[in-house]
């Protein structure tokens, strides 16, 4: 097995975030599920945009945020995802490449516009997301390049990929190619409602060893096993997959491995401004550590550190060098 050219390859929906701040009332008026990611069509996207306040546009997408985090930590990262060749698509391409991530997926020249996520941040820092997938609908198995999968230590896939029509085939192709090249495959469960849509298929991915590592937060885990009992859900997860990471916001995370369960604390945060990207950046830190051979506690601390940076400002991508932050916290090279 050759040395991996990339630490982490992310495959996900390529999305531009349209972020606004609003009071709780806005969520009620709009019938939005607070804290969740809801899929919307173009007409609903227009209606939400008409109703919402002034916004900023910034590149997002769950797995895309993760690989940008990996690059910010000093890792070598790549991304596969579909935008349209329009203004927002060009902004997405610019931003991810400018962050140092290799990104070569051909943009769509026809069809729906680049995907957008309308992110409503309430005064408590919680984000509520409404996603119009747009061009991300058109990610296809032909977008998966054998060479880049084989060249990546870890292929990381977001659960949201189960939503677009052909993306799950792209997902399965990537996982197969990765394993053929003796590489690892990781999956994020993405969102409790996403788990609810695809519960049986996600369980099957784990039980069939299609994925080697799972990231889940508490709500996703409880949705996966349809139980409010956290300990039961953790026990069920341990039976279904060799390695899993369960994130618990300010309570830190649990790393479930063959040898037991390790609890790793979060970093203290004085004020949570916008939780968008917290899970994505946690995965960035953990995966970077994993690709570089760090032990579980170090991987978990790197994840916690990256998550802690991103929730202290608006937007889902790091504003400062995570590599410098890691060094300052005794976690760097």
Question: Which residues lie near its own copies (CB under 8 A)?
Answer: 21, 49-50, 52-59, 68, 86-88, 91, 94-96, 98-99, 113, 315, 317, 319
Closest contact distance (angstroms) between CB of 1 and its own copies is 33
Alpha-carbon distance 176 to 174, whole Å?
Answer: 5
CB 210 within 8 A of CB 178: no
State the sign of the Cα–Cα–Cα–Cα dihedral 220, 136, 97, 141. positive
Q: Which is nearer to its own copies, 168 or 317 (CB)?
A: 317
| Tokens found for residue 202 | 């996600």
Closest contact distance (angstroms) between CB of 134 and its own copies is 11
Q: Which is nearer to its own copies, 27 or 91 (CB)?
A: 91
CB 15 within 8 A of CB 113: no
Q: Which is nearer to its own copies, 96 or 185 (CB)?
A: 96
Alpha-carbon distance 127 to 277, whole Å?
Answer: 9
E-state strands within 122-192: 127-132, 152-158, 184-188
Q: Which is nearer to its own copies, 301 or 317 (CB)?
A: 317
21-34 residues labelled b (16+ CB within 10 A) or e (exposed): bbeeebbeebebee
Closest contact distance (angstroms) between CB of 55 and its own copies is 6
Q: Which is nearer to its own copies, 136 or 189 (CB)?
A: 136
Torsion of CA 1, 64, 96, 330, to 10 degrees: -70
Nearest to 15 by CA among 47, 49, 63, 54: 63
Closest contact distance (angstroms) between CB of 91 and its own copies is 6
| Tokens found for residue 53 | 């306040």
Sheet with strand 6-11: strands edge to edge: 102-103, 77-80, 6-11, 152-158, 184-188, 213-217, 243-247, 253-257, 260-264
Closest contact distance (angstroms) between CB of 67 and its own copies is 13
Closest contact distance (angstroms) between CB of 222 and its own copies is 34
CB 317 within 8 A of CB 310: yes
Q: Which is nearer to its own copies, 212 or 274 (CB)?
A: 274
Closest contact distance (angstroms) between CB of 165 and its own copies is 24
Q: Which is nearer to its own copies, 94 or 251 (CB)?
A: 94
| Tokens found for residue 250 | 């300010």
Closest contact distance (angstroms) between CB of 281 and its own copies is 14
| Tokens found for residue 20 | 């606004």
Q: How many CB atoms sit inside 10 A of residue 51's CB?
A: 13
Closest contact distance (angstroms) between CB of 94 and its own copies is 6
Q: Which is nearer to its own copies, 204 or 320 (CB)?
A: 320
């Amino acid at each position: 097995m050759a040395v991996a050219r990339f630490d982490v390859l992310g495959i996900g929906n390529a999305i531009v975030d349209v972020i606004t701040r609003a009071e709780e009332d806005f969520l009620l008026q709009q019938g939005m599920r607070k804290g969740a990611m809801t899929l919307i069509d173009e007409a609903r996207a227009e209606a939400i945009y008409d109703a919402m306040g002034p916004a900023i546009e910034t590149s997002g997408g769950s797995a895309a945020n993760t690989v940008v985090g990996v690059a910010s930590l000093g890792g070598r990262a790549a991304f596969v995802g579909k935008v349209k060749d329009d203004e927002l698509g060009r902004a997405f391409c610019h931003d991810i490449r400018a962050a140092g991530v290799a990104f070569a997926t051909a943009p769509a020249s026809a069809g729906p516009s680049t995907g957008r996520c309308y992110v409503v941040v309430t005064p408590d820092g919680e984000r509520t997301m409404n996603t119009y997938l747009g061009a991300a609908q058109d990610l296809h198995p032909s977008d998966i390049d054998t060479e880049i999968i084989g060249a990546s230590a870890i292929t990381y896939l977001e659960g949201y990929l189960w939503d677009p029509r052909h993306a799950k085939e792209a997902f399965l192709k990537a996982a197969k190619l990765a394993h053929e090249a003796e590489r690892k495959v990781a999956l994020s469960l993405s969102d409790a409602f996403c788990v609810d849509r695809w519960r049986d298929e996600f369980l099957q991915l784990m039980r069939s060893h299609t994925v080697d590592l799972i990231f889940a937060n508490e709500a996703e885990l409880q949705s996966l096993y349809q139980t409010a009992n956290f300990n039961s859900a953790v026990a069920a997860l341990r039976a279904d997959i060799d390695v899993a990471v369960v994130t618990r916001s300010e309570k830190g995370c649990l790393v479930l491995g063959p040898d037991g369960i390790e609890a790793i604390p979060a970093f203290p945060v004085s004020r949570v401004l916008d939780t968008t990207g917290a899970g994505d950046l946690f995965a960035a830190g953990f995966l970077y550590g994993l690709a570089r051979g760090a032990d579980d506690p170090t991987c978990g601390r790197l994840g916690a550190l990256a998550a802690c940076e991103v929730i202290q400002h608006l937007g889902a991508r790091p504003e400062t060098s995570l590599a410098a932050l890691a060094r300052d916290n005794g976690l760097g090279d």
